[in-house]
A and B are shown apart, each in its own frame.
Chain A
Amino acid sequence: MRRLGRWVVAAVVLLLGRGQRPRELPPPEPVVGGAAPAPKAELLVIGLLILSAAFAVAFVVVYAGGADTQLLGLALGLCFALLAVASVVTAFRLAPPEEAEEPYPEPSHPTEIAEVEQIVVESGRHLTRGKLLGLAAGGAGTALGLALLAPVASLGPVFDTSRLRREPWRRGVRLVDAEGRVLRAEDIELDTLHTAFPEGADPENLASPIVVVRLEPVRLDLPPDRSNWAPAGILAYSKICTHAGCAVSLYRAPHYEPTRPRPALVCPCHYSTFDPATGGTVIFGPAGRPLPQLPLAVGPEGELIALGGFSGAVGPSWSGVRE
């Protein structure tokens, strides 16, 4: 109860004292020896800070316009370098020299704190363009902050994630190779790995590239609902690893099986290993879910066509993708 009373008194005092200027004290003795104004150095520092801010803005502009990594590095590097030069010039030319034999004691007493404040204020007194300098420093800091925050946009769409799930494969789409030639079932031989794309679709789309392999039909062990997905033992899987999105470009194709591990699709980045015979299940490595399988069929002229979309989400796993 007494505590509450103290709080009330403190609040009243604060309210009444609000807006009143502290009593003027007689100007204290100057502590810092008068430093000569150095307007040229100030101008130099201001110019450097503004240039630094300009390069930070250039970083954002390059990032927004396609992000050439070398230009990005150059912009950010120059921004930091100019900031560093500005700091060095400030230290040598603008900050008044002061010799201290011992480190400052921890400011504990109010008068000591006041003295430090006084030193800071007096150090700035010889600046002729203090405000402009402050503005330039603030501008450089803000621009640098913006430049460092801008790449957050690369983390992906926040509001509409449906375009991450769009895929070009649907029933009847023919498989073509990188040169656009239609892949036929007879092209896919045992122990070979083919990369294929949907005919007429953008090959750059994450869901476009697939790997096509052929296994002997007797060794297939697909889930029951995929029994007709692999005509003559020909299987298609997304080429994008479900771990970190690298291209699954390794095919472990044993030349002589009794002494070798069984066939597997392997991602060269972190060695996630998928079993093509069982529907792309993970048999080794960091991937958390199977490679999405594409149901295949053989068309009337022996060409390979898709029977529908993938068995799961294509690409690296992210929030909400479990299948």
Chain B
Amino acid sequence: MRRSVLVVALLALFLPKLGAAESGPNLYLQHCVSCHGRGGAGVPPGGKNFGPPLQGVGAQAADFYLTTGYMPLQEADQEPVRKSSPFSEDEIRSLVEYIGSFGGPRVPQPDPERGSAGEGLRLFTENCAGCHQVAAQGGLVVGGTAPSLADSTPTQIAEAVRVGPYLMPRFTTKQLDERQVDSIIRYVQVAQDPDDRGGWGLGHLGPIPEGLVAWLLAGGALVGVAVLIGARAP
């Protein structure tokens, strides 16, 4: 008796969720169609709601934009920023599957264990650090911002490299092959959780704050020495 009550209570907890988990096409019609059009055909600019076509972008781009919370946007001309997605994981999965059915690349399967952090640092410096900074903490581009990669997952990084979201250029497999992307992800993982020798990262902002602190400390020491040698004889 008691067990059946428990089961009913558990069901009562989960049932509303099960009921809310809608199919991809339904979610698309509720949340995406006003800007991206029916069947991912896109809506040309002119009115309040407009957006690019989704045919051919594939599950790769859909997964990136949905798991990072870039989509849905409140206004069509906003800059998308990382936020927690209003969709549950299941909802994202079914939406990605539906948008992927319009055609296009699949969700990549990166394996950072295959990459080398050293090569990743070199590639990151050459290709990514101009905007994201070598510490992967993000920066500015004229007309937009480059986000911090502190919360990026390996899959999201692999997707962003190929998709080139917002103002980012994209990278073809000829520019960066999959193993090189693995190395970049491996490096970003190191940068996300850096090994701060000395225990004081100073925000990983690089030599300028480090130099500033060095000057302050050295300046204090110099003043101390000056006071010491300048003391009057008793």
Contact in complex: A268, B130 (CB < 8 Å): yes
Instruction: For the complex formed, measure the closest distance between the CB of A303 and the CB atoms of chain B, giving whole angstroms.
Output: 14
Which residue of B has the minimal Cβ distance to A177? B175
Contact in complex: B141, A250 (CB < 8 Å): yes
Most buried by A among B140, B141, B166, B171: B141
Contact in complex: B130, A260 (CB < 8 Å): no
Task: Kindly list 16 other residue pairs between chains A and B, CB separation below 8 angstroms, not including A187-B174, A192-B171, A260-B144.
Answer: A189-B172, A191-B164, A192-B169, A193-B169, A247-B130, A249-B126, A252-B141, A254-B167, A255-B163, A255-B166, A255-B167, A259-B78, A268-B130, A271-B142, A273-B142, A285-B142
Which residue of A has the minimal Cβ distance to B230? A91
Question: How many Å lie between the Cα of A76 and that of B168 in the bound state?
Answer: 44
Instruction: For the complex formed, measure the closest distance between the CB of A147 and the CB atoms of chain B, giving whole angstroms.
Output: 20
Question: How many Å lie between the Cα of A260 and that of B52 in the bound state?
Answer: 12
Instruction: For the complex formed, measure the closest distance between the CB of A76 and the CB atoms of chain B, giving whole angstroms.
Output: 14
Contact in complex: A97, B233 (CB < 8 Å): yes
Instruction: For the complex formed, measure the closest distance between the CB of B224 and the CB atoms of chain A, giving whole angstroms.
Output: 14
Q: List A contacts of B129 (CB < 8 A).
A: 249
Q: Would you list which residues of chain B between 100 and 132 have a CB under 8 Å from chain A?
A: 126, 129-131
Instruction: Produce 1/0 per residue, A112-154, CB < 8 A to B.
Output: 0000000000000000000000000000000000000000000
Question: How many Å lie between the Cα of A271 and that of B163 in the bound state?
Answer: 24
**B45 interfacial by beta-carbon distance below 8 Å:** yes
**B25 interfacial by beta-carbon distance below 8 Å:** no
Contact of B172 among A99, A187, A260, A268 (CB under 8 A): A187
Contact in complex: B142, A256 (CB < 8 Å): no
Instruction: For the complex formed, measure the closest distance between the CB of A208 and the CB atoms of chain B, giving whole angstroms.
Output: 15
Q: List A contacts of B143 (CB < 8 A).
A: 252, 260-261, 264
Contact in complex: A255, B229 (CB < 8 Å): no
Contact in complex: A259, B170 (CB < 8 Å): no
Question: How many Å lie between the Cα of A247 and that of B130 in the bound state?
Answer: 9
Which residue of A has the minimal Cβ distance to B139? A268
Instruction: For the complex formed, measure the closest distance between the CB of A84 and the CB atoms of chain B, giving whole angstroms.
Output: 9
**B195 interfacial by beta-carbon distance below 8 Å:** no
Contact in complex: B130, A249 (CB < 8 Å): yes
Question: How many Å lie between the Cα of A191 and that of B77 in the bound state?
Answer: 20
Known: A266-B142, A273-B142. Contact between A253 and B233, CB under 8 A?
Answer: no
Contact in complex: A261, B167 (CB < 8 Å): yes
Contact in complex: B172, A255 (CB < 8 Å): no
**A88 interfacial by beta-carbon distance below 8 Å:** yes
Question: How many Å lie between the Cα of A251 and that of B78 in the bound state?
Answer: 20
Question: How many Å lie between the Cα of A88 and that of B225 in the bound state?
Answer: 11
Subset of 13 A-B contacts with CB under 8 Å: A192-B169, A192-B170, A192-B171, A193-B169, A250-B131, A252-B167, A258-B50, A259-B45, A259-B77, A261-B142, A266-B130, A268-B130, A273-B142
Interface band, chain B? 20 to 34
Question: How many Å lie between the Cα of A249 and that of B127 in the bound state?
Answer: 7
**A284 interfacial by beta-carbon distance below 8 Å:** yes
Known: A260-B144, A261-B144, A266-B141. Contact between A251 and B169, CB under 8 A?
Answer: yes
**A194 interfacial by beta-carbon distance below 8 Å:** yes
Most buried by B among A88, A254, A255: A255
Question: How many Å lie between the Cα of A216 and that of B143 in the bound state?
Answer: 21
Instruction: For the complex formed, measure the closest distance between the CB of B24 and the CB atoms of chain A, giving whole angstroms.
Output: 22
Which residue of A has the minimal Cβ distance to B170? A191
Contact in complex: A255, B175 (CB < 8 Å): no
Instruction: For the complex formed, measure the closest distance between the CB of B1 and the CB atoms of chain A, giving whole angstroms.
Output: 59
Question: How many Å lie between the Cα of A247 and that of B144 in the bound state?
Answer: 20
Question: How many Å lie between the Cα of A91 and that of B45 in the bound state?
Answer: 79
Question: How many Å lie between the Cα of A271 and that of B130 in the bound state?
Answer: 11
Which residue of B has the minimal Cβ distance to A213? B169
Instruction: For the complex formed, measure the closest distance between the CB of B176 and the CB atoms of chain A, giving whole angstroms.
Output: 10
**B165 interfacial by beta-carbon distance below 8 Å:** yes
**B72 interfacial by beta-carbon distance below 8 Å:** no
**B51 interfacial by beta-carbon distance below 8 Å:** yes
Question: How many Å lie between the Cα of A191 and that of B163 in the bound state?
Answer: 10
**B11 interfacial by beta-carbon distance below 8 Å:** no
Instruction: For the complex formed, measure the closest distance between the CB of B207 and the CB atoms of chain A, giving whole angstroms.
Output: 12
Instruction: Produce 1/0 per residue, A248-282, CB < 8 A to B.
Output: 01111111101111001010100101000000000
Contact in complex: B76, A259 (CB < 8 Å): yes
Q: List A contacts of B169 (CB < 8 A).
A: 191-193, 251, 253
Which residue of B has the minimal Cβ distance to A284? B142
Q: List B contacts of A268 (CB < 8 A).
A: 130-131, 139
Q: List B contacts of A258 (CB < 8 A).
A: 45, 50, 77
Question: How many Å lie between the Cα of A255 and that of B168 in the bound state?
Answer: 7
Contact in complex: A253, B164 (CB < 8 Å): yes
> A-B pairs with the 4 shortest C-beta distances?
A249-B130, A261-B143, A253-B169, A258-B45
Q: List B contacts of A261 (CB < 8 A).
A: 142-144, 167
Instruction: For the complex formed, measure the closest distance between the CB of B101 and the CB atoms of chain A, giving whole angstroms.
Output: 21
